[in-house]
């Protein structure tokens, strides 16, 4: 049941962010948990990753991070990272770029690396 709810949340988020998108735009959605003490380090990492994406020439592509409210009863997937990608070619170019990959490797060396997560890529539907 929890997986069904999580997938429905993913679909809702994906459609929400794609509602105003161009036909080629892609959103990647990561649902995960994070120790609250690590949140500042994780957000700093995302900020660095977004700076790298901009530096390599893709300023309209970026990540944003959300979390459920403190009083939400969800016991899993309390954080959500959305990747905003202008199109498939840009997504691939970014994710194959040496600077981007180096920054991702730095994440793996830190204590904020996310091992368990739900991940999906969403594409615009009939707009």
Question: What is the tens place of the pLDDT at every residue in 5-61?
Answer: 555 455 556 555 544 444 689 999 999 998 878 889 889 999 999 999 999 999 999
Give the per-residue pLDDT at 49: 95
pTM: 0.76
Confidence of residue 87 (pLDDT cuts 50, 70, 90): very high
Two tokens, residue 67: 């979390």
The residues pairing with 28 across neighbouring beta strands, listed in sequence order, are 83, 121
- Domains of the chain, start order: 2-123 (3.30.70.100)
pLDDT at position 37: 85
* Burial (Cβ within 10 Å: 0-12, 13-18, ≥19) of residue 23: exposed
How far apart CA 82 and CA 118 sit, in angstroms, is 12
Q: CA-CA distances (angstroms) from residue 116 to 30, 64, 67, 123, 125?
A: 10, 19, 16, 23, 28
């Amino acid at each position: 049941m929890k997986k069904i709810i999580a997938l429905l949340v993913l679909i809702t988020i994906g459609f929400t962010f794609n509602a105003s998108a161009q036909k080629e735009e892609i959103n990647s959605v990561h649902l995960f948990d994070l120790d609250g003490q690590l949140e500042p380090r994780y957000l700093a990492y995302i900020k660095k990753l977004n700076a790298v994406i901009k530096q390599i020439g893709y300023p309209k592509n970026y990540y944003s991070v959300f979390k459920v409210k403190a009083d939400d009863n969800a016991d899993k997937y309390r954080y959500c990272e959305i990747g905003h990608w202008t199109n498939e070619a840009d997504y691939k170019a970014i994710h194959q770029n040496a600077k981007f990959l180096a920054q991702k490797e730095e994440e793996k060396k830190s204590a904020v690396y996310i091992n368990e997560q739900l991940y999906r890529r969403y594409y615009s539907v009939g707009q």
